[in-house]
Amino acid sequence: MHSLTNSFVAEKLEEIATLMRLAGENDFKAIAFDRAARTIEGLQEDINEIIEQKGLTDIKGIGKSIANDLYALAETGEVPVLTDLKKKVPEGLIKWLGISGLGPKKIYKIHKELGITEIDELKEKCEDGSVAKLSGMGAKSAEKILKSIEWMEQFSERCLLDEATEVANAMMKSLEDLEGVEKISIAGSLRRSNETIGDVDILIAANEKFAAPIFDVFTNHPSVTEILGKGETKSSVRTKEGRQVDLRIVKPDHFGAALMYFTGSKEHNVVMRQRARDRNMTLNEYGLFEMDEKGNTNFDKPVASESEEIIYKKLDLNFVPPELREDRGEAAFFEKNEKADLVTVDDIRGVLHAHSTWSDGKKSIKEMADACIERGYSYLGLTDHSRTAAYAGGLDIESVQKQWKEIDAINNQFAKDGVDFRVFKGIESDILQDGSLDYPDDILAGFDFIIASVHASLDKPADKMMDRYKRTVDNKYTTMIGHPTSRLLLRRGQSQVNVNQLIEWAAENNVAIEINANPWRLDMDWRHGQKAKSFGLMSAVCPDAHTIEGIDDIPYGVAIARKAWFESDRILNTKSTDEIDRWFKERR
């Protein structure tokens, strides 16, 4: 039997769904694999145990056929249907998925009718008019494909949360005070705080007479390099960062319904529409409407549309925060609860996981501490790299002891000057090949806290990786696990870590698992939030700051913590200086 992780299985199922669409197969089959992927991704149980007990079909959304595919994956390491699809679908077509406006169905059509598989061939066929001549395409479609290919050659199709936020904020700032703008909001996956973002969506409530001048300002923004489309209710542009930004303008009394619809997720919207039908109503982007006994909808008189709160209330729900709108139990929760006690940026009282010039940081300990004070924080948990990370200036034992003396001197000076701030002595210890930490026990005992992270041998099989983590979690000196999957978003996938199992071990040993706030990481993944909640796992929102500016990544980590359903009392750095000092000591 091959050891699997839930995320690995979900990736395989998603790959099957994608290739099915590219192969021109029935979309309902592809949808089944998509749903199965989301189900497996959100499981709190270990997929290996379920497979061993032959219990896959007991999971809602996993039919006999998909179950057999997964049993084969566990037995042989391959999925027969995936192997067959890879033979059918040319590898070059997969790259076409990044082309704006080209979905799997259109890709299949162009490939089948023109016999091409590579992006260069597609570009050529757009230029010579072949694509425009295909039914359902046309000259405008071919032109859009060409422009999208040109963009792809310069930029990635998705961007990190911080880049999308900066793009959106710049646009919002130029629009929010314009005449006629009654309400404005970010929508889409950015409003839901997804870890990577495709298009940036902005929604404005304004009367029709103001739409044209608002769109003029939008399309003439200094960051715009290309106008992709300009209409009466929607305009789209490309910015210098390569991002597509879509602006929609709706009537003020439709704003709430439109904001709910365009925020998504698609799965959350499906649940909301079903709740409306169950109550003899219809929900769409224009509002919530009553249906008569024959099922006809009166679209002239909305029951509610002006605010999300009112629409949720009409559907017997309390307001659902945008971060939680992923169809992961939020409807059931907000039927019974007025709100979720989610952590906020204002709850964070100190900075944990930061580097200085002692290893690979850009500023001194004192400079990092002063930057924290300037931002209103009460403490800094300094965690330079340990000695094995020689490539990052990792500290040998002599350097550790010298650093401790410097930290003592800084803290003494703060006390003398009446500054209520403390620097904690920490280390980001490499987790070694056998799972041990990077120093002997007498040195480990001298730290206030230790973040244990994997930086090497990321390609270990799941069972070997988990053996490594088990020894680390069992070590009494381990305070926290750092970036558990070691992923770098849009650059590198995650290592084979069974995060659900790691959560159980960590909670049992009172070890925290960080939410690394660096936008390249955002690791622990929010999808493990329900598992973490059920075991009472402690976490911390850690910027992993190597510069002063890096401290300001904390809000991105808070967004992920909220998306993962973390309350403030399960986030370590919402504690006061004395409280976290006590927690560090009691942990040992």
- 166 and 66 within one domain: no
- 332 and 208 within one domain: no
Confidence of residue 100 (pLDDT cuts 50, 70, 90): low
Comparing 142-146, 274-278, 510-514, the range with the smallest average pLDDT is 142-146
Comparing 180-184, 237-241, 291-295, 478-482, the range with the smallest average pLDDT is 291-295
Give first-to-last CA distance, the chain, whole Å. 38
Average pLDDT on 229-254 reads 94
Task: Tell me how far apart the alpha carbons of residues 385 and 394 are, in angstroms, rounded to a whole number.
Answer: 5
- 172 and 146 within one domain: no
Last residue of a domain, one of 336, 353, 386: 336
For 555-581, how does the pLDDT look when each residue is reduced to its tens digit (9 = 90+)? 999 999 999 999 999 999 999 999 999
Q: Which tokens hold the place of 257?
A: 């319904």
Question: Is residue 1 in a domain?
Answer: no
Per the CB < 8 A criterion, the answer to whether 502 and 44 are in contact is no
Any bridge partners for residue 205, and if so which? 183, 250
Task: Tell me how far apart the alpha carbons of residues 512 and 456 are, in angstroms, rounded to a whole number.
Answer: 21
* pLDDT score, position 569: 97
* pLDDT score, position 156: 67
User: Which residues, 6+ apart, have CB-to-CB distance to 64 below 8 Å?
Assistant: 57
Please state the domain count of the chain: 5
For 440-498, how does the pLDDT look when each residue is reduced to its tens digit (9 = 90+)? 999 999 999 999 999 988 888 889 999 999 999 999 999 999 999 999 898 788 888 99
Angle between helices 397-416 and 365-374 (to 10 degrees): 40
- 273 and 229 within one domain: no
Confidence check: pLDDT of 298 > 80: yes
Question: Is residue 236 in a domain?
Answer: yes
- 414 and 391 within one domain: yes
Is the link from the previous residue into 265 a cis peptide, with omega within 30 of 0?
yes
Confidence check: pLDDT of 144 > 90: no
Last residue of a domain, one of 39, 61, 88: 88
Q: Where are the alpha helices (DSSP H) in 432-539?
A: 441-444, 462-474, 499-508, 529-534
- Burial status of residue 302 (CB atoms within 10 A of its CB: 0-12, 13-18, 19 or more): buried
In CATH, what number is assigned to the domain containing residue 131?
1.10.150.20
Name the percent of the chain lying above pLDDT 90.
72
* pLDDT score, position 390: 85
Confidence of residue 294 (pLDDT cuts 50, 70, 90): confident
Confidence of residue 277 (pLDDT cuts 50, 70, 90): very high
- 393 and 272 within one domain: no
Question: Is residue 32 in a domain?
Answer: yes
- 393 and 536 within one domain: yes
- 497 and 356 within one domain: yes
In CATH, what number is assigned to the domain containing residue 244?
3.30.460.10
Question: Is residue 370 in a domain?
Answer: yes
- Backbone φ and ψ for 110, nearest 5 degrees, come out as -65, -45
Rg (the chain; Cα; Å) = 26
Per the CB < 8 A criterion, the answer to whether 469 and 491 are in contact is no
Question: Is residue 351 in a domain?
Answer: yes
Average pLDDT on 389-406 reads 94
Comparing 150-164, 397-411, 455-469, the range with the smallest average pLDDT is 150-164
Confidence check: pLDDT of 2 > 80: no
* pLDDT score, position 154: 64
Contacts for 436-443 with beta carbons within 8 Å, 24 or more apart? 436/471, 436/472, 436/475, 437/386, 437/472, 437/475, 437/477, 437/478, 438/386, 438/387, 438/388, 438/394, 439/386, 439/387, 439/397, 439/400, 441/477, 443/397, 443/400
- Burial status of residue 333 (CB atoms within 10 A of its CB: 0-12, 13-18, 19 or more): middle
Task: Tell me how far apart the alpha carbons of residues 35 and 161 are, in angstroms, rounded to a whole number.
Answer: 25
In CATH, what number is assigned to the domain containing residue 45?
1.10.150.110
Confidence check: pLDDT of 26 > 90: no
Confidence check: pLDDT of 554 > 80: yes
In CATH, what number is assigned to the domain containing residue 577?
3.20.20.140
Any bridge partners for residue 64, and if so which? none
Name the percent of the chain lying above pLDDT 70.
99
- 259 and 233 within one domain: no
Question: Is residue 350 in a domain?
Answer: yes
- 411 and 379 within one domain: yes
Q: Is 291 helix (H, G, I), strand (E, B) or coil?
A: strand
In CATH, what number is assigned to the domain containing residue 305?
3.30.210.10
**Residue 171, domain extent:** 159-250
Question: Is residue 543 in a domain?
Answer: yes
Last residue of a domain, one of 152, 186, 202: 152
The whole-angstrom distance between residue 559's C-alpha and the CA centroid of its chain comes to 9
Question: Is residue 412 in a domain?
Answer: yes
Q: Which pTM does this prediction carry?
A: 0.81
* pLDDT score, position 164: 97
Average pLDDT on 326-347 reads 96
Most confident range, picked from 19-23, 162-166, 494-498: 162-166
Confidence check: pLDDT of 335 > 90: yes
Angle between helices 27-41 and 6-22 (to 10 degrees): 170
* pLDDT score, position 147: 80
Per the CB < 8 A criterion, the answer to whether 507 and 478 are in contact is no
Task: Tell me how far apart the alpha carbons of residues 210 and 228 are, in angstroms, rounded to a whole number.
Answer: 21
- 540 and 487 within one domain: yes
User: Which residues, 6+ apart, have CB-to-CB distance to 153 below 8 Å?
Assistant: none
| Mean pLDDT over the full length of the chain | 93
- Backbone φ and ψ for 356, nearest 5 degrees, come out as -125, -175
- Backbone φ and ψ for 8, nearest 5 degrees, come out as -65, -45
User: Which residues, 6+ apart, have CB-to-CB distance to 295 below 8 Å?
Assistant: none
Bin 24: left if φ > 0, else alpha if -120 < ψ < 50, else beta. Answer: left
Cβ neighbours of 314 (radius 10 Å): 16
Task: Tell me how far apart the alpha carbons of residues 252 and 434 are, in angstroms, rounded to a whole number.
Answer: 61
- 272 and 236 within one domain: no
Comparing 94-98, 117-121, 135-139, 233-237, the range with the smallest average pLDDT is 94-98
Task: Tell me how far apart the alpha carbons of residues 119 and 27 are, in angstroms, rounded to a whole number.
Answer: 24
* pLDDT score, position 548: 96
Confidence check: pLDDT of 34 > 90: no
Question: If residue 14 lies in a helix (H) or strand (E), which one and from where to where?
Answer: helix 6-22
Q: Which tokens hold the place of 31?
A: 């949808």
